[in-house]
Structure 1
Amino acid sequence: MSKSAIALILAFAVANPKSLPFSWTVRFYYHLIRHTMPFVPAFLRPAPAPTPFTTRTMATFCEPLECDFNGHKSNSTYFTDLDIARSDLMIWVFQKFLIKSLKTKGWSRGMPYIPVASVQTAFKRQIDPLQSYRVKSRIIGWDDKWILVLSKFVVGKGETEKVAAVSLTKYVIKVGRKTVKPQDALDDCGLWTEQVDKQARSDFALAERLLEMDKLDEMDV
């Protein structure tokens, strides 16, 4: 293979890292491993979430292969970014619950996992090719079964920050086929209090009302 061909392949990979084969799998398991696996050195493991409502931010950019015929980020590619950003958030917040469930239940009695039940997204403005943006996500509330995660795609910083898209994702916590109440899982993580629970249930109801009015972008993230 010629040097020019190698250079083109490398340039393609650098410009489109999220579109390479197995990229999604590598990115997802990177977060799972660094948050939960005991062999990961302490200095590489993020500090535990201080509250259930703490924001996690993923910085990235719009790859050329993510663009549609209109010349900006394709709607479908937002959900790939959401997968990674939300997974990082949920594994981080529920780190202690996931580790405890594996130790006490074991793989044979059902693996703990947190699947997506639904996601609704509103697109506010376009993201251009090679434009940098961030995905900011946090848990905004829960009830006896569901957890709501608010995610915003933002461009710019500080006073120039603008929302490009906003998503509301509904999660449920499972151990095998058993559904686990959010408050029980958070209690295992040392993050549940009556005051926290009261705020979460109030914000859960507020988010559902705002969703009906298409005003989710007014909630803080």
Structure 2
Amino acid sequence: MASGARLPLRSIAFTAALTLSITASRMSIRKVLLNSFTGPGSTSRIIATLFVLANLKNVPFAWHAIFNAILRHCLFSKPNIPSTIAPSTIFLPVITTSHSPFMECDYNLHKSNSTYFSDLDVTRSHLVCALLEPGIEALKNNTRTKLVLDKEGKPIPGRWSIMLGGVMSTFKREIGMYQGYEMWSRVLCWDRKWIYVITHFVKKGTVRPRAYILTDGSWFKRGYKEVHGKGGVEVDEKAIFASAISKYVIKLGRLTIHPEVSLAASGLLPARPGGWATMTGPSGESTPEILDVEKDETIESQNTDKWDWKRIDAQNQKGLKFVDHFAALDGLHDEFSGSQTPALGKYRDFLW
């Protein structure tokens, strides 16, 4: 994800499609199947094939399914959320479905704790690309859009990237072998540097949102539409398997980009007295972390469904109360004793 969204996606998609087409035209699929699954040794090949099919999620390079998210949202089906509802979508979740095959399970035949983190890579990629694609595009073309300027007022050159700074997961219930589950990922909040994403691992089919905002678009630019589903049911606590929090930093070259710059460039922030943080000034620096805006009750929105700046800010402040504890974990690096104390021993990971 750190560099995937800045790849020449159209060229990659075209080349891959052309290669597959040429390969398919030069080989007889029927002949390949007959040679593989008949004759001497066919039983072993069939068993091996079934094993691979049952564990496709864990074959070599399967992790690179994150490019599915990048290609979908940054190339084939770019988000085009109407500006009238865009601020209300900033904290909405992206739902990614998955399952736990045999190769992901530990000796208890439950999903191994370590495999949650590769799942998080995929679902976070869907969220970031679906939500921030316009901002990503603006930063990738900063020399043209002039979103971030240097001290002389010139566009800052550099390659856009988004880096994972940390992940913390808490486990509540086990996920069984081949059990289906969903990952509900959304923006929790942001501060001056980090965008924090929260993900819930939920039993598949037990929870439905009140509505979906689905893409029906692709290159035909038809955009997003709202599709109402069945929802409003209280969440069963037993349906939540685990929860995780991750933090992302957005970079342009080596310059850290204030999260509000990307959010605003994606059309997700409503108007705010004094403005949101920007990086278009002559210094290339962002505005103060907290704008001193006097809270005037007369500007309180009369419509509780409207996502104005006060509601956005209140939701963000609510999330920051959780991430204060997460951010404190950065101090763990100072607990490394190194050569100051003895060690119990040194071992290999697999062999003696």
- TM-score, normalised via structure 1 length: 0.83
Tell me whether 1:179 sits opposite 2:256 in the alignment. Answer: yes
Which of 304, 310, 314 matches 1:199?
314
Q: Counterparts of 1:126-141 in structure 2 under 5 Å?
A: 126-141=174-189
Does residue 188 of structure 2 align to residue 111 of structure 1?
Answer: no
Aligned mates of 1:162, 1:209 — CA distance in 2: 27
Q: Which of the numbers 45, 61, 71 marks the counterpart of 1:6?
A: 45
* Structure-1 separation of matches of 2:324 and 2:67: 35
8 Å CA contact 1:173–1:179 kept in 2: the answer is: yes
* Identity within the alignment, %: 30
Structure 1 pair 46–104 and aligned structure 2 pair: CA distance change class (3 A): closer
State the match for 2:127 in structure 1. Answer: 89
Q: 1:6 offset after TM fit, Å?
A: 3.2
Deviation string 1:153-182 (CA, Å, 9 cap, x unpaired) is 111504656111100111111111111111
CA contact (8 A) 1:72 1:128 kept: yes
What is the root-mean-square deviation in Å for CA atoms of aligned residues? 2.3
Deviation at 1:105, TM superposition (A): 4.0
- 8 Å contact from structure 1 (residues 85, 137) kept in 2: yes
- Aligned residue type for 1:72: H
Residue 121 of structure 1 corresponds to 169
Picking from 34, 40, 47, the partner of 2:72 is: 34
The structure that has the greater radius of gyration is 2
- Structure 2 residue identity aligned to 1:176: G
Greater fraction strand: 1
Decide whether aligned partners of structure 1 residues 8 and 198 sit closer, same or farther in structure 2, where only a CA change above 3 A counts. Answer: same
Aligned length: 204
The answer to whether the Cα contact below 8 Å between 2:78 and 2:133 also exists between their aligned partners in 1 is no
Give unpaired runs (5+ residues) of structure 2.
Answer: 1-35, 145-155, 208-234, 273-308, 328-352
Q: 1:67 and 2:105 equivalent?
A: yes
Letter in 2 for 1:201: N
Query: What residue number does 1:208 align with?
Result: 323
Partner SS state of residue 87, structure 1: helix
Query: Structure 2 CA distance, aligned partners of 1:190 and 1:173?
Result: 17
Opposite residue 70 of structure 1, the aligned amino acid is N
Equivalent residue, structure 1, for 2:118: 80
1:32 shift after superposition: 1.1
| Distance in 1, Cα, partners of 2:80 & 2:242 | 28
Matched AA of 1:92: A
C-alpha distance in structure 2 between counterparts of 1:28 and 1:85, whole Å: 8
Say if 1:70 and 1:48 are closer, same or farther in 2 by CA, change over 3 A: farther
Greater helix proportion: 1
SS in 2 for 1:21: coil
Rounded Cα–Cα distance in structure 2 between residues aligned with 1:151 and 1:105? 34
Counterpart code for 2:258: K
Cα pair 1:120 1:169 within 8 Å, conserved: yes
> TM-score, with normalisation over the residues of structure 2?
0.54
What is the identity, as a one-letter code, of the residue corresponding to 1:55?
Answer: P
Is the CA contact 2:73–2:79 (under 8 Å) kept in the aligned structure 1? Answer: no
